[in-house]
Amino acid sequence: MIVANILQPLIDLAESGILFFHDNLGFGWGFAIVLLTFATRLVILPLSVSQIRSMRALQAYSPQIKAIQERYKDDKQRQQREMIAFYQENKINPFASCIPLILQLPVFLALYQLLNGKNFQEDIRSDPPIDFFFIDDLTLEATGAALVALLVLFIATQMGASAVMASRADKNQRIIMFALPIFFAPFVAFFPAGLAVYWISTNVWTLGQQTVVRFFFPPPEIPTVEEVQAKTPPPPPPRKKKKRR
């Protein structure tokens, strides 16, 4: 497959990571996937910090952003230019929140290819146990009670992570954050159970990361538009033209 060929270096890296946690450190296959997830999140932690800073900046400047949107609501092209200029002036990257998610997707696809690979499946089955808590086989799709439990855990952890992140987001962002878990939940039934373990683990990491950030680095108070206008100095008076003699 083309996808497998493109991701082969990442597939090999994921396999090496899982084998390291299993063979060298002695963890079971399920915990090896969990530790691989945490290692991945640790690697992209600097980008996650950048994401948090960008979100904080968007929160702090939300009155000015809303003012620009309102001022040029009838001229979308001018509104877009003004917004880009405002972001550049204040060093805000509005797409920073997408970067950690985008970087996790190749790992997700690599793990999918790995769990579906015959060689890796043979390695796992030759060194049992291949179960993990209520999951009978990490390389197969979950069924019955195990599937229901995975769906509940996926939705609960995703909702929890979204709740912490969306507490100070605007209405549209909150709707998207809470709708995504419901949208992606059915896909859990069609993937190997190990992938559900990976995604639940990354949700747990996100929840813990956001909780730590909120506790030690509380978000700034968002001023109202009136407060921003009150702090903005009035424009200088126009110069008087000198009378010619």
What does pLDDT average to over the chain?
78
Alpha carbon separation from 93 to 47, 105, 184, 195 (Å, rounded): 12, 20, 26, 30
Q: What is the pLDDT of residue 226?
A: 58
In angstroms, the first-to-last Cα distance of the chain is 86
Alpha carbon separation from 101 to 53, 130, 221, 235 (Å, rounded): 16, 28, 27, 43
Q: What is the pLDDT of residue 35?
A: 95
User: Is 128:68 a contact under the CB 8 Å cutoff?
Assistant: no
- Vertex 212, ends 208 and 217: CA angle to 5°? 150
The per-residue pLDDT for range 123-176, each reduced to its tens digit, is 888 887 778 888 888 888 888 899 999 988 988 888 777 776 655 555 555 666
Q: What is the pLDDT of residue 207?
A: 85
The per-residue pLDDT for range 206-221, each reduced to its tens digit, is 888 877 877 776 655 6
**Domain ranges for the chain:** 2-59+96-216
User: Is 18:110 a contact under the CB 8 Å cutoff?
Assistant: no
Q: What is the pLDDT of residue 218?
A: 64
Burial 181-193 (b: 16+ CB within 10 A, else e): beeeeeebeebbb
DSSP state of 129: -
User: Is 115:12 a contact under the CB 8 Å cutoff?
Assistant: no
Regions of the chain where pLDDT drops below 50: none
